[in-house]
Structures are given as structure tokens and as C-alpha cells.
Chain A
Amino acid sequence: MHLRLCLSPFLNCFTGYKVFGGDFVSTRYYDVIVIGGGIVGSTVARELSRYDIKVAVLDKASELPSGASRANSGMVHAGYDDEPGSIKAQFCPKGNLIYKNLREELDFTLNEVGSYVCALDKDEIAHLELLLEQGKKNGVPSVEIISGDELRSREPNASREIIAALWAPTGCTINNFEAVLAFMDNAQQNGVELFLETEMLDVILSQDKRQVVGVKTNRGMFLSPIVINAAGVHSDEVARMVGDDSFIIHPRRGDYFISDKYVGNLVKSFFFACPSEAGKGITVASTTDHNLLMGPTSIFQVDRNKTATTAEGLDQVIEGARRLIPPIPINMAITTFAGLRADPDTGDFVIGILKKPHGFVNVAGIKSPGFTSAPAIAQHIVERMKNELKDLVEFKPNRKFVPERRHIPRFAYLSMEERSDLAKEDPRYAQIVCRCESVTEGQVIEAIRRGARTVAAVKIWTRAGAGRCQGGFCGPRVIDILARELNIPREEVTRHGGHSRMLVGKTKEYWFREGRL
């Protein structure tokens, strides 16, 4: 507990510090603090939960995942995209394997559908050959180039313009919401504490700036000798707080469309246009929930908090998607979204343990294939921390570590027998809340029990509101259940925390205000 000792001079200089917003939490003490609860933060948190140490994950969002882990293509890449020898190439194929191994244990949805990169002309074929070569060097299994006709015999809706395709059978679609929740849920079951709506304001260093002592947040101080920077698109800002300016994140926005399920079967596998300077190109895929996903664009932008789509971006997506799969109909979209990728100027992942300040760990700039690589990166960095930071924290095994966890029952995908059993056990599993995605009241209540506090969180946990009517039907019902279960007035229910209240008051109230009656 030398930590507390070295803190005292420091604490003095912060007397009278004002906390912005949120409920003040008195100073808390941890062994490790993880900044950011995206796929990187959650996989790292789960790895750390194997040890008998006190871990806190802080995220400024009101629900996980937020940021790029929430808004992405939902793909586990095969690993042929990355330059052999790069850090990305080292972790991507490993991450691919880990997901497949953990699918049962952590109960998230992953479909081994394979992926195609499509070539529309000779230059693009040359590019496929390059990718093939890279794939082989990176150890990606069974990757091959097939003809356009072969592609169309497997995927009849593929464009006639496609002359060849790179087939990688190990590419998968993943429910990225479920995956992040799974890692974090399991980490929490094993003792990790999660703080949402907790925005990190600064990293606290010892007076000589040689040692990390914690972080300052809108909810008070979290003290810890180790701070892990998994702050995604903000990770360079966090690094600069400790004087590390070795990399800069250039946020790159990706706009996406999600279609109604009735066109979800237009493709079986993941389709990529040939990559360009800007990124992997527009993709078309059938998600794990059988919607068609189209996107992303790749647009540099300065604002790191803005995830607004643009008209040009959305037009690009539709145009690009139809170039691969021409039968995509108009009016099939049910929603659009945009995500910001954390694109580092170094061109590669920024993974490392700083010498100064001691205790600061970067897991930053985890851009594509970041989602795929995350579990491999987490294993790697925690292994290194055990050696390089053992003077700060003792990594004794957590004897109570339970590797398995179960997701909330996915009513829509259960057999009739399973549904029947569930409904018998708890009749709330026979009360529909979301008709489009067949989500029951039982699921919503379970999501709230596991920490969902907002309409968006309920959607992420259960898919209530993620369907064709986008919450038109279930919206009022979800507000009602949240209010009831959290014992708050309905007016206090938010869409995604902060000031995002769903309702502004009761009817008739207006006439009672300001002496109108």
C-alpha cells in the first residue's frame, strides 16, 4: 500500500477541486484502472479478472459499447489485409482464433460465413494477389482467389461485373454488441467494477512525474498505480496527459446503413470492395441478426465526438453496396449510423508500457482490424504487465475466476421447447415488448438487472428497438419498464444518459404552470 503513502502530498494540491456533473464518488482505490470500455477495455478487463487484483473500468458513455466498438462492421477479419511484420498482422489472425474459441464460453454470436474481396478490373486482381500473398505470410488459412463465375455460383446476387474474388473462409460476422458485453459481463462477474458516465479528466502523476497514481474524473478520483489507456478515438489525448505525444489519432468516420431483414438473405458471406487508400472499402454483409449491413465510408474528420452521418456519406454507401450486390432494393433501410475509427498516424497499433511515467499502459490506436485483434492484444499486454509492472501490483491468480458466462436468453432464436420452458419458469418471458425482434419483458428486466440504465442500453442488450420499426412499438413500453424497475419517474428515463430524456413531462401539466389555470 505504498500507493497511499506517495499520494498524500499530491492530494493536498487538489483540495477544493470541483467535480463536474454526476454524483460525486469519494476517492476510490484500485490496482488497475482501465480507461474505456470498448472491445479493447473489455477484453483487457476480462484478462485482468483472472488475477486477484482490484480493477475498475471507466467509460464516459451511459452504456457499453459506445464509440467504434459499437459502430463498426461487426466483422472478425481473417487477417490478409495487414502488412506482414506489422503489429496488426501479428494480432489479427490470433484474435480471429480466440473469438472462435471463446464463442461458447462467453456466449456471443459469431457466424463463420467467410469473406470475399471483389475485383472489378485487372488492377484490382493485382491487388487480390497482393492480399493473397500477405494472407499466406500472416498465416491466414485456406485463403484463395476464385473466379467471378465461381463467386456467383455461391452467391447468386453478386454483381456480374465482379471478375474475381479473394475468398477467406475464416472471416466471420460477429455481434459486436454482444461480444463487448460478454467480455465486460464476465469481467464484472469476476470482480471488475465498471463505472459508466465517468469521464476521465486527467491522469494524476506523482510529484516527480515518474509514477502514475490514478485519474481524475467527473465523479471524483480513482487512485491506482496502473492506468491502461484504452480510450479509442481519444487515446492520444489521454497519452498526452502523461506527456506521451508519440502518436496522434485522426478520427475517420464510417457511415453505415442497416436494412430490413427481408433483404438480409441477399448475401451469405461478407463482401468487400477492393481496398483503397482510404480503407477496406464498402462492405455488404448479412449481420448475425440477418439484417443487411452496408458501409462504411471512410471520411477524415476533426471532431472526435460527432458521429453524425452525412448525405454524401450515405449516398456513397448505397452506391458502393449496389456495385457489389445490384439487387439491393431502395427503401430497404431501417436505420443509419456512423462510427469513428481511431486511426493513428503511426499506421499501426500503439501497444506499450511506458517507462515514464511508470504504470502507464497504452493500448491505443486499435483501428481496423482492431475489433478482431483486441482479445489477442489483451492477452499480450496483460502477460507483459505481469512482468514489467510486478513492482506495482502483485498478479496472483484469482482462484474464484469463472470463465463462463451466459447472455440474456435470446428469445427470438430459441426453439419452441426452450421458449415454452422459459415462459413456464417466468411468465414475463411470454410477454412481448418488441414485436420486430421478438424481445420479451423478461429479457428487458434481465438487461436492467445486469446494468442497463437507458433505452439505448436495453436495445444493445436485448435488441428491443433494433428492428424494422426502430422502437416505434416498444419505445413507450421500454420507458415504462425502465422507470418501474429503476424506481424512477418515466420523465427521468433517458435515451443514452446525460440530457437525453425521452419525455418532458405529463400531459395537462402545461396548464398548471405559471398560473395558466
Chain B
Amino acid sequence: MSDITVDVAVIGAGPAGIAAGVGAKKAGAERVVIFERDWDLGGILQQCIHPGFGLHIFGEELTGPEYMHRWISKAREVGVEFLMNSMVFHMEDDGSFWIMNPSLGIKKVTPKSVVLAMGCRERPLGALGIPGTRPAGIYTAGTAQRLVNMEGYMPGNKVVILGSGDVGLIMARRMIWEGAEVLGVYEIMPWPGGLRRNIAQCLDDYGIPFHLEETVVEIHGKDRLEGVTVAKVDMNRKPIVGTERLVGCDTLLLAVGLIPENELSRMAGVAINPVTQGPYVNELLQTSKPKIFAAGNVVIVYDLVDWVSKEGERAGKNAALFAAGELKEPARKIKILGGSNVRLYSPQWLSGQADATIYMRVAQPIEKRCKVIVEPGAYEKQLRYARPGEMSEVQIKAEYVQSLGDVAEILVDIREA
């Protein structure tokens, strides 16, 4: 079992990983290898065949495969190497890891630095604790998307969608175009989980009912799904007795949230933030293990792939600097605290070594002018609105961090203007 030695190893060839490869190469790293478990590059974006990606980076709306095609071409141009069909299945706390590959067998990889870019997974039915039977016909929206868009198979004909995450909304329209019936989308919260335009173009265009503050309370059917009971929920998200209705369907798609995929990070002893369920990172996207960086949905679930790519490039660049011994030990460590209306945010630490972008999601929507505030001091950014389904971001200059003197913590919040 000879080792594979690389300068920067990237785990995952989705949008974050490929951008990290590009970022590392651009920053001068010699051997940059992306390890991908699939036979194909591009990760989940290959199954996102609808347009809506790349407006911020390319100035046009591309489909997922088109968006990834541009990035893959860029990665090839700058000399990123890829190792396909290579599953990373174990990681040591020094950042070295083990891969398995049908032609190479089992190999150990010892990199100078690593970028974690494994993305996220979907919350399964079991996580919701919905009572009832466990028949065939219950899929996460992403699995259904893979079946339909990459394998060419239909998971069902009469569909109910639970949750209004973007993948679920997109799949509602996709299933309609393949002749399925979509009976409704049920969202337990009082606001949609996905983008408003997807409500408009995926549900409204096809007259698909969208039920806010309703959820599935029971599953029926022994072999194949036969129906679900839906009910309205109260302010505590508990079903209201007497509001139950039976909806006959053969398929339930779940779009109830994404969870960063951090099994390897945990194996390597990287500290995980229980709120984001991703690693704690600083503005360099460095984790609690200095050699290990992380980017994209493995850190925090983003709303737009453009941000994932940008953060991937940032992580790749810093991983390259670390591999070259050019990244100084952080002189300071300032903790970022989230305000009362900030549910999730990343990074959680600032070292003052580079300009930072803080990404956040609000807990409660604000459908009017509002602002991001950074305390203490100078920062304030105007927003036209803030919605839980979308991220807000604020740029922070390295100089600001350096000017903070003895301050150990800063606070970010989003408030009404």
C-alpha cells in the first residue's frame, strides 16, 4: 500500500471542491488532487438540470451541468488532477486519509493540506419521526431528482411534497413535465423554505397548491405508499387535532432540509458547530485542525451555488498557502457571535489575516428594509429584506479586525432598519 503524496488534497468534486482545486492551483500549489467517489465530476449539480445557477459569477443563468462544465474546464486548464471512483472512507487527525478505488485498491493519501468539500445530505424521513408505516414510494427530493434526471426512472405518479426546500419545488415542476400529478406542497413553517421565484415558476405556473403551516402527520400503505394524512399545525408546530385530511398518493418527496456531511471531519477530530452541523471555521475557512480547510455545504448549507464556488476558491487558496508554509499562525482569534435573529452563520472566528465574508440565515423573515450590523463599530449593511430561505452576507475588512484591540468577540445581527 504505497502512499499518494499531494500538496493540496480536495475531498469531493462538486462545486466547492472543484473551485477549491482551482483556487489552490491559482495560489501556486504544485500537486492538487480532487478525490471523487463518483465516476463523474460535478457532484449534485449534475442532476440539477434546471437553470438558476451562476448569475453572480458568470452573469447568466446556467443549468447545473452547464455551470459545472465551466468550472471543470477551468480546473483542467489550471492543472487540477482528479481521481474518480475514489471514496475517502477514513481520515486521521493529521489530515491524512484513506481512499478505495476499484483499480488502485486501498491507498493512503498524505497531503500537506486538505480541503473538505463533501457537501451535504438530505434529512431523511426517520429524522422527522412521522408515525405510520414504511412503504415504498418515500424519497428525498434529491434522490428522486437523481432517479429522474440521471437514471431516467420515475419514482411515482401521484406525488405529495413535504417541505418547501428548493429541490422539492424544482422537483414538483419536473414531475409535472414527466406527466406525474403533484397534489400539493406542505410546509410546516409559516414561510417557504426555498426561493420565492421557485414558488412562482414551479408551483404557481402549474396550479400546484402550496400549504403553509401544514405537515404530514401519518403515512399509510403497507407495500407501496397509499396516502398521507396532513394536518395544520399551531404556533409550536404541533398538529392541530381535527384538521387532519387524508391525501391519496403513491409518492412522498421530502424537501425538509439539508445536513452538512461531516463524518470524515468528525473522524479527523475537527470541531463541529452543533448549530450549522459543519466545522467551525475562520475567515480563511480553516477548521480547528490548522491543516484542514472546509468549504461549501460541508460548512453551512448555502442558498446559491455561486457562494459555494467562491468559498471553495477561498479555501483552496488558503490551503495552498498553508501547504507552502506561507500561512502565518493567526495572531488573533476573535469569536463571532450571532444576534437574536441570526440562526446560522459562518465563519465563526476571525484571524484578521484576510478580508472576510460572513454568511448568515435569519431566524424570522423581515419583509422590509433591514440591515446587517456588526458590533462593535463601523459596519452596517443595508438589505431590502431578509428571509430564512436565503442567505445574507456582509464583507468585513481585515483592517477592521486588526483595529479591534482587546475585543475578543464581535456580534453580527440582522435587524429592521
| Chain A interface residues toward B at CB < 8 A | 257-258, 262, 305-311, 313-314, 329, 331, 333-337, 416, 419-420, 423-424, 427-428, 430-432, 435-436, 438, 440, 455, 468-473, 475-476, 480, 490-491, 494-511, 513, 516
Q: Which residues of B contact A440 (CB under 8 A)?
A: 100
Instruction: Determine whether the beta carbon of A496 is less than 8 Å from that of B223.
Output: yes
With A430-B101, A500-B223 as contacts: A506 and B152 at CB distance below 8 Å: yes
Interface hub of B89, B126, B180 (most chain A Cβ within 10 A): B126
Instruction: Determine whether the beta carbon of B134 is less than 8 Å from that of A337.
Output: yes
State in angstroms the CA–CA spacing of A420 and B106 once bound together: 5
State in angstroms the CA–CA spacing of A505 and B155 once bound together: 8
With A476-B151, A502-B155, A511-B179 as contacts: A469 and B122 at CB distance below 8 Å: yes
Instruction: For the complex formed, measure the closest distance between the CB of A501 and the CB atoms of chain B, giving whole angstroms.
Output: 6
Q: Closest A-chain residue to B1, C-beta based?
A: A420
- Contact mask for chain B residues 219-237; partner A; CB cutoff 8 A; 1 contact, 0 none: 1001110000000000000
- Contact mask for chain B residues 67-93; partner A; CB cutoff 8 A; 1 contact, 0 none: 000000000000000000101011000
Instruction: Determine whether the beta carbon of A416 is less than 8 Å from that of B98.
Output: yes
With A262-B266, A305-B222 as contacts: A420 and B105 at CB distance below 8 Å: yes
Instruction: Determine whether the beta carbon of A507 is less than 8 Å from that of B152.
Output: yes
Interface size range on B against A = 35 or more
Instruction: Determine whether the beta carbon of A472 is less than 8 Å from that of B124.
Output: yes
Instruction: Determine whether the beta carbon of B223 is less than 8 Å from that of A333.
Output: no
**Interface membership of B125, Cβ < 8 A:** yes
Instruction: For the complex formed, measure the closest distance between the CB of A83 and the CB atoms of chain B, giving whole angstroms.
Output: 34
**Interface membership of B51, Cβ < 8 A:** no
Partner of A500, one of B135, B151, B153: B135
Instruction: Determine whether the beta carbon of A499 is less than 8 Å from that of B223.
Output: yes
With A305-B222, A476-B146, A496-B136 as contacts: A419 and B100 at CB distance below 8 Å: yes
- Listed by A's residue number, 16 A-B pairs whose Cβ atoms lie within 8 Å are A257-B129, A262-B266, A329-B274, A334-B127, A336-B129, A337-B134, A416-B98, A430-B101, A469-B122, A470-B124, A471-B124, A472-B140, A496-B223, A497-B223, A500-B136, A506-B152
State in angstroms the CA–CA spacing of A265 and B108 once bound together: 27
Instruction: For the complex formed, measure the closest distance between the CB of B355 and the CB atoms of chain A, giving whole angstroms.
Output: 34
Instruction: Determine whether the beta carbon of B121 is less than 8 Å from that of A473.
Output: yes
Nearest 10 Cβ contacts at the A-B interface: A510-B179, A335-B126, A470-B124, A495-B136, A427-B102, A500-B223, A499-B223, A500-B136, A432-B87, A420-B106
Q: Which residues of B contact A497 (CB under 8 A)?
A: 223
Instruction: Determine whether the beta carbon of A504 is less than 8 Å from that of B155.
Output: yes
Partner of A510, one of B89, B127, B180: B180
**Interface membership of B7, Cβ < 8 A:** no
Instruction: Determine whether the beta carbon of A472 is less than 8 Å from that of B142.
Output: yes
State in angstroms the CA–CA spacing of A428 and B105 once bound together: 10
Instruction: Determine whether the beta carbon of A498 is less than 8 Å from that of B223.
Output: yes
- Contact mask for chain B residues 131-151; partner A; CB cutoff 8 A; 1 contact, 0 none: 111111001101100111001
Contacts A333-B129, A469-B124, A471-B143 known; list 4 others, CB within 8 Å.
Answer: A262-B266, A308-B131, A308-B132, A432-B89
State in angstroms the CA–CA spacing of A306 and B222 once bound together: 8
Q: Which residues of A contact B140 (CB under 8 A)?
A: 469, 472
Instruction: For the complex formed, measure the closest distance between the CB of B297 and the CB atoms of chain A, giving whole angstroms.
Output: 14
Instruction: For the complex formed, measure the closest distance between the CB of B294 and the CB atoms of chain A, giving whole angstroms.
Output: 17
With A419-B100, A432-B37, A510-B180 as contacts: A472 and B224 at CB distance below 8 Å: no
**Interface membership of B156, Cβ < 8 A:** yes
Instruction: Determine whether the beta carbon of A333 is less than 8 Å from that of B153.
Output: no
**Majority SS at the chain B contact face:** mixed
State in angstroms the CA–CA spacing of A475 and B37 once bound together: 16
Instruction: Determine whether the beta carbon of A423 is less than 8 Å from that of B106.
Output: yes
- Contact mask for chain B residues 42-73; partner A; CB cutoff 8 A; 1 contact, 0 none: 00000000000000000000000000000000
**Interface membership of B263, Cβ < 8 A:** yes
State in angstroms the CA–CA spacing of A464 and B187 once bound together: 30
State in angstroms the CA–CA spacing of A501 and B98 once bound together: 37
Instruction: Determine whether the beta carbon of A503 is less than 8 Å from that of B263.
Output: no
Q: Closest A-chain residue to B139, C-beta based?
A: A475
State in angstroms the CA–CA spacing of A202 and B224 once bound together: 27
State in angstroms the CA–CA spacing of A333 and B125 once bound together: 10
**Interface membership of B178, Cβ < 8 A:** yes
State in angstroms the CA–CA spacing of A200 and B391 once bound together: 58
Partner of A501, one of B131, B136, B259: B136
**Interface membership of B240, Cβ < 8 A:** no
Instruction: For the complex formed, measure the closest distance between the CB of B377 and the CB atoms of chain A, giving whole angstroms.
Output: 35
Instruction: Determine whether the beta carbon of B224 is less than 8 Å from that of A475.
Output: no
Q: Closest A-chain residue to B108, C-beta based?
A: A416
Q: Which residues of B contact A309 (CB under 8 A)?
A: 129, 131-132
Instruction: Determine whether the beta carbon of A313 is less than 8 Å from that of B131.
Output: yes
Instruction: For the complex formed, measure the closest distance between the CB of A488 and the CB atoms of chain B, giving whole angstroms.
Output: 14
State in angstroms the CA–CA spacing of A427 and B222 once bound together: 37
Instruction: For the complex formed, measure the closest distance between the CB of B274 and the CB atoms of chain A, giving whole angstroms.
Output: 8
Instruction: Determine whether the beta carbon of B131 is less than 8 Å from that of A311.
Output: yes
Q: Which residues of B contact A334 (CB under 8 A)?
A: 124, 126-127
State in angstroms the CA–CA spacing of A430 and B219 once bound together: 37
State in angstroms the CA–CA spacing of A307 and B1 once bound together: 48
Partner of B106, one of A258, A419, A428: A419
